Amino acid sequence: MEKFFPWDVSVIFTKFPTFLHAALITLQITTSGILVGLIAGFVFALLKISYNKPLKAIASTYIFVVRGTPLLLQLFIIYYGLTTVVAIPPFPSAIIALGFHNGAYIAEIFRGSIESIPVGQMEAARSIGMSYRKAMQRIILPQAFKRAIPPLGNQFIIALKDSSLASTIAVPELLLRGRQLGSSSFKYMEMLVIVAVYYLLLTTLLHFILNKIDKKLTSGKRKARKIW
Amino acid sequence: MVRVENIQKHFGSLKVLKGIDLDIQEKEIVVIIGPSGSGKSTLLRCINFLEMPDKGKVFINQHEVKTNNHDINGLRARVGMVFQHFHLFPHMTVLENVMEGPVQVKKIAKNKARKAAAELLEKVGLSDKADEYPEMLSGGQKQRVAIARSLAMEPEVILFDEPTSALDPELVGEVIDVIDDLAREGMTMAIVTHEIWFARKVAHKVIVMDEGKIIEQGPPEQVFDNPTHPRTQQFLKQVFNE
Ligand SMILES: Nc1ncnc2c1ncn2[C@@H]1O[C@H](COP(=O)(O)OP(=O)(O)OP(=O)(O)O)[C@@H](O)[C@H]1O
Ligand SMILES: [Mg+2]
């Protein structure tokens, strides 16, 4: 039996609770990273659609650089690369890297959703005397945010999984916890299965919350349905 | 009331407006007709600066509108615009659509604006739809809300760009009725339309545009019954044959 099934399933259950703290750290990095990403994404999206050429160029460069390089490299640049200038501890390094990495993707999500609002909306708003700023605030952005929610949801789930890269700079999150317990107990597979289950629980929870929000926003509206 | 002088506008190499002069007097109803692409929409859009004219001046009550945010936003609050495709705000209820301008631009207290908006909805016959979202309305109802939204700003002039062209034929009447009521109340209006019968009924002055120029203008009887320009004759023939 041992030969065909070399793993100790009971360990998965007994050790499962000892990952709780690490899971909370994963959750912390993810939510903080998403928060930074949302702010950065919103600001850079507005810069990207602005008529100010230098600001536009700054936003484009940021998006180009961040999307064209690996997150792991970005993390190393912030944690190792910057040490000579400022030594940032692992935990904030992970949040900054995850935040600015996601910021670039979120900026594109926001830009896309803003640009998807028909130009007639801006014209109607301006034609009743609203300023550009007011029209953005009252008419364009509320509609754009709604449209951004499904792609943002996907991005949040990617961010959650990407937070595992923080294990490489010694943030005691889920994956690092799994590797440490694995090597100390020689039960690698068991520990990694626990890590997998935690990630699945977290992504499922996130999916659930996102669905709830989506339902709430579309309630009372006509939805695509099967038509005979 | 509103006067434009020598308005010119081009898109790329296409000269869309080749120097338009137009004077809309108080309580006057000016109907603009002309073939597709002749620049009717562009003219209306230049009057409230949704398109920035290349050249020319816009005056409201003798004051020249300068091309700065203050003047342009001020002009827009006084010159209403009704679009072919309504452009209602889909994330707001019908009532909120109508209140939005007064509350956000004129800074009128919410409860006062709500009351005024409700009265306007009654005027356009849509009191029962106040709390619906625009997507639940028919085209004719949407356009009537759009007219109420424009009226809520208490404009001195309203510009209509083909207000019934996007509607099913059976819904044209309800929108025309609302505009007709406004005409009777003495609202100053410029209306681009292909509904010649309606133009004949309400217009004080008919303007015929062709290739970016005004080729003919006058009272409806004259323009419709005795058009002098061959392009007008041709255009009217086309419209009547449809
Ligand atoms: N934003 C724009 N960019 C480029 N070309 C434009 C733009 N707006 C209008 N045009 C062109 O300018 C010309 C005049 O357009 P306009 O919409 O003013 O005509 P119109 O008289 O309103 O026609 P219709 O009866 O079809 O509405 C058309 O050839 C149109 O393609
Ligand atoms: Mg037009």
**How does strand B55-60 pair with strand B29-33?**
unpaired
B163-187 average pLDDT score:
95
In angstroms, the separation between the Cα of residue A66 and the nearest Cα of chain B is 34
Fold of A9-227: MetI-like fold (1.10.3720)
Based on the fold, state whether residues B111 and B131 are members of the same structural domain.
Answer: yes
Decide: B106 and B74 in contact? Cβ < 8 Å.
no
Rounded to 10 degrees, what is the CA torsion of A193, A198, A200, A203?
Answer: -150
- Return the pLDDT at A60: 97
B185-212 average pLDDT score:
94
pLDDT in tens, A156-184: 999 999 999 999 999 999 999 999 999 99
Res B78 pLDDT > 70: yes
Give the per-residue SS3 of chain B.
CEEEEEEEEEECCEEEEEEEEEEECCCCEEEEECCCCCCHHHHHHHHCCCCCCCEEEEEECCEECCCCHHHHHHHHHHEEEECCCCCCCCCCCHHHHHHHHHHHCCCCCHHHHHHHHHHHHHHCCCHHHCCCCHHHCCHHHHHHHHHHHHHCCCCCEEEEECCCCCCCHHHHHHHHHHHHHHHHCCCEEEEECCCHHHHHHHCCEEEEEECCEEEEEECHHHHHHCCCCHHHHHHHHHHHHC
Question: Residue A2: which pLDDT band, with cuts at 50, 70 and 90?
Answer: low
Size of interface A-B (CB pairs under 8 A): 61
Based on the fold, state whether residues B97 and B59 are members of the same structural domain.
Answer: no
Residue B150 forms contact with A (CB below 8 Å): yes
- B45 CA: nearest ligand 1 atom: 18
Decide: A99 and A32 in contact? Cβ < 8 Å.
yes
State the pTM of this model: 0.89
Is B221 within the bounds of a domain?
Answer: no
Q: Do A128 and B90 touch (CB under 8 A)?
A: no
The ligand with the least distance to the CA atom of B34 is: 1
Based on the fold, state whether residues B6 and B58 are members of the same structural domain.
Answer: yes
Burial class (CB in 10 A: 0-12, 13-18, 19+), B111: exposed
Rounded to two decimals, the ipTM of the complex is 0.93
Based on the fold, state whether residues B55 and B83 are members of the same structural domain.
Answer: no
Rounded to the nearest integer, the mean pLDDT of chain B is 94
pLDDT in tens, A27-80: 999 999 999 999 999 999 999 999 899 999 999 999 999 999 999 999 999 999
> What are the CA-CA distances from residue B170 to residues B85, B130, B140 (Å)?
17, 23, 9
Based on the fold, state whether residues B61 and B90 are members of the same structural domain.
Answer: no
Question: Residue B240: which pLDDT band, with cuts at 50, 70 and 90?
Answer: confident
User: Comparing C-alpha atoms, which of A187, A50, A162, A28 is closest to residue A115?
Assistant: A50
Nearest CA in chain B to A220: B133
- Return the pLDDT at B109: 97
Q: Do A221 and B135 touch (CB under 8 A)?
A: yes
- For B135, the closest of A125, A127, A222 (CB atoms) is A222
Residue A17 forms contact with B (CB below 8 Å): no
pLDDT in tens, A168-227: 999 999 999 999 999 999 999 999 999 999 999 999 999 999 889 888 877 655 555 555
Distance CA B108, CA B105 (A): 8
Q: Do A220 and B133 touch (CB under 8 A)?
A: yes
Q: Ligand 1: does its nearest atom lie under 6 Å from the Cβ of B16?
A: yes
Is B238 within the bounds of a domain?
Answer: no
Only one residue has tokens 């709830």, namely: A212
Rounded to the nearest integer, the mean pLDDT of chain A is 93
Based on the fold, state whether residues B140 and B119 are members of the same structural domain.
Answer: yes
Partnered with residue B190 across adjacent β-strands are B30, B159
Residue A139 forms contact with B (CB below 8 Å): yes
Is B184 within the bounds of a domain?
Answer: yes
- Return the pLDDT at A226: 59
In angstroms, the separation between the Cα of residue A130 and the nearest Cα of chain B is 6
Task: Indicate which of A121, A127, A218, A222 best probes the interface with B, i.e. most B CBs within 10 Å of its own CB.
Answer: A127
Question: Residue B114: which pLDDT band, with cuts at 50, 70 and 90?
Answer: very high
Is B118 within the bounds of a domain?
Answer: yes
Residue A128 forms contact with B (CB below 8 Å): yes
Based on the fold, state whether residues B103 and B12 are members of the same structural domain.
Answer: no
Q: Do A120 and B48 touch (CB under 8 A)?
A: no
Q: Ligand 1: does its nearest atom lie under 6 Å from the Cβ of B42?
A: yes
Res A3 pLDDT > 90: no
- B12 CA: nearest ligand 1 atom: 4
- Return the pLDDT at A110: 97
pLDDT in tens, B142-156: 999 999 999 999 999
Is B138 within the bounds of a domain?
Answer: yes
Total number of residues shown for chain A: 228
Is B127 within the bounds of a domain?
Answer: yes
pLDDT in tens, A106-146: 999 999 999 999 999 999 999 999 999 999 999 999 999 99
Based on the fold, state whether residues B59 and B111 are members of the same structural domain.
Answer: no
User: Considering only CB atoms, which chain B residues are within 8 Å of A139?
Assistant: 89
Domain spans of chain A, in order of start: 9-227
Beta carbons within 8 Å of B49's beta carbon, 6+ residues apart = B58, B65, B67, B72, B75, B76
Range of the domain at B86: 79-169+180-188+202-207
Distance (Å) from CA B45 to ligand 2 centroid: 10
- Identify the sign of the CA torsion A144, A150, A154, A160: positive
pLDDT in tens, B4-17: 999 999 999 999 99
Q: Could you tell me what percent of chain B has a pLDDT over 90?
A: 91
Is B226 within the bounds of a domain?
Answer: no
Res A1 pLDDT > 70: no
Distance CA B142, CA B171 (A): 11
DSSP state of A187: -
Distance CA B85, CA B78 (A): 21
DSSP output for A103-118: HHHHHHHHHHHHHTS-
Based on the fold, state whether residues B101 and B9 are members of the same structural domain.
Answer: no
Q: Ligand 1: does its nearest atom lie under 6 Å from the Cβ of B37?
A: yes
pLDDT in tens, B118-133: 999 999 999 999 999 9
Provide the CA A16 distance to its chain's centre, in angstroms: 25
In angstroms, the separation between the Cα of residue B223 and the nearest Cα of chain A is 31
Q: Ligand 1: does its nearest atom lie under 6 Å from the Cβ of B193?
A: no
Q: How many domains does chain B have?
A: 2
Q: Ligand 1: does its nearest atom lie under 6 Å from the Cβ of B144?
A: no
Distance CA A122, CA A135 (A): 6
CATH of the domain at B126: 3.40.50.300
- Return the pLDDT at A183: 93
In angstroms, the separation between the Cα of residue A141 and the nearest Cα of chain B is 11
Distance CA A90, CA A166 (A): 8
Residue type, A210: L
pLDDT in tens, B27-51: 999 999 999 999 999 999 999 999 9
